Each structure stands twice: as C-alpha cells, then as structure tokens.
Amino acid sequence: MTRPTSHPLEHILAVSVVVPARNEARLIGRCLTAIRATVDHLRTTAAIAIDVDVTVVLDDCSDPTATIASAYDVRVVTVGYGAVGASRHAGVTAALRPDPRGLPRQKRLLWEFAHEPAPGHPHIYGANLGIRASTYLALGGFAPVATGEDRALVHVARDHGDGIVATDQAPVLTSARRHARAPHGFADWIHDRQGGML
C-alpha cells in the first residue's frame, strides 16, 4: 500500500520576500525583475493560488535605489541601520504586520488603507488585547455578548479612567477566514468587501 503524496505547496497560502538594499541602484532593478518573473511563473504553474508580496528595505541609501524600487509592485521600508541583519528584521516585521493573511494582495491593501497602524490608533481587536488582571476583575471581565466583547471591555476601562495604550509595536497575525464565528467581527468585514476595489 502506498501513501498518497501531497503537493509540496498545498499548505502555503502566502510567501513574503524581503530584499535588504543599501545603495544598490545598479542591481536592484534586475533583482526585482527576476523576482517578478519567478512570481509570475509560480502563479501560472502552481496547483494552488499563492499570494506573494515583496518588501524592499532601503537601508541608509544615498543613491537612486528608492526611485527604482518604487517602480515595482513592492512594499518599501526605509531605515537607517547600516546593518543587513537589522534591515532584514525590519523587512520581516513589516511583511508580518497584523493583516488578514491569505487575502489577495488587493484586498489586503484595502484593509491596510482602512487600518493604518500608528500610536493612539482607534482599532480594538481581541487578538492582541492585553489587560491587567486586577483591572479586568474590577471591571467585571468580558461581557456575555455574542460579539464586540473586546471593544466593550476597552470602552468600560476608558470610562472607568484606566490608562489605555494603543500601539503599533505589538503586531500579531490573525485568521483571514471569510466565514464568521462571531457576527459583525473581522470575518464579516472581509466578507463584506470581497468585491471591494481599492
């Protein structure tokens, strides 16, 4: 009896390519063109759909690398580390921002447009919500509601005068499923925008 073989990519929904660059104007175009050709080949030959995004990290560049990179469909991150390890880390961090993984790139850009991370942002999601235990107990915990318990708890804490910190420094990855388990949650947000165009 032989065991069925599975496709080596069947469990991969997305691939992120990170390219650190410092004054690479002479070669960055050829690099990104080669990546684009590889992605095009993957999309036409793979048995399953795989979303691929590319992040270019401009590390203390003083040449036209940024101008050349901006002509491609890539995410551009600008840093001033002067160290390839730190640049790679910045690129991976940007690539793994809390976005709906598994969404087509166009849908993900729509999400990012509506959820630009910044200190003091208004977004509340239970996936990366933390609260002090004593505060949680004093507020009575999560309300027994079908949806929105995370937002309700934060609103109660704010009304109670507790300190609230909304930061962009604690990103998490969360599900991109379209079938909601809780009504009016993130899955519904994705489902409602399936036909959305940026």
Split into its structural domains, the chain has a count of 2
For residue 166, being part of any structural domain is answered with no
Q: Which residue has the higher pLDDT, 45 or 126?
A: 45
For residue 164, being part of any structural domain is answered with no
Residues 41-76 pLDDT 10s: 888 887 667 778 899 999 999 999 999 999 998 999
| Cβ-Cβ contacts under 8 Å for 54 (sequence gap 6 or more) | 16, 17, 18, 19, 32, 35, 39, 72, 73, 74, 75
Least confident of 55-64, 96-105, 111-120: 96-105
Q: Give the model's pLDDT for residue 20.
A: 93
Do 43 and 84 lie in one domain? The reply is yes
Q: Looking at residue 24, which CATH number applies to its domain?
A: 3.90.550.10
Strand pairing category for 14-21 and 75-79: unpaired
**Considering the entire predicted model, what is its pTM?**
0.50
Residues 78-88 pLDDT 10s: 999 998 898 99
For residue 170, being part of any structural domain is answered with no
Do 142 and 79 lie in one domain? The reply is no
For residue 73, being part of any structural domain is answered with yes
Residue 126 structure tokens: 């239970």
Do 20 and 67 lie in one domain? The reply is yes
> What proportion of the chain, given as a percentage, has pLDDT over 70?
67
What domain range is 86 assigned to?
9-96
Of the candidates 76, 96, 116, which is a domain's last residue? 96
Q: What is the dihedral of CA 143, 149, 154, 156, to 10 degrees?
A: -30
For residue 173, being part of any structural domain is answered with no
Count of beta carbons in the 10 Å neighbourhood of residue 36: 15
Dist CA 141 CA 138 (whole Å): 8
Q: Are 8 and 51 in contact (CB under 8 A)?
A: no
Do 82 and 25 lie in one domain? The reply is yes
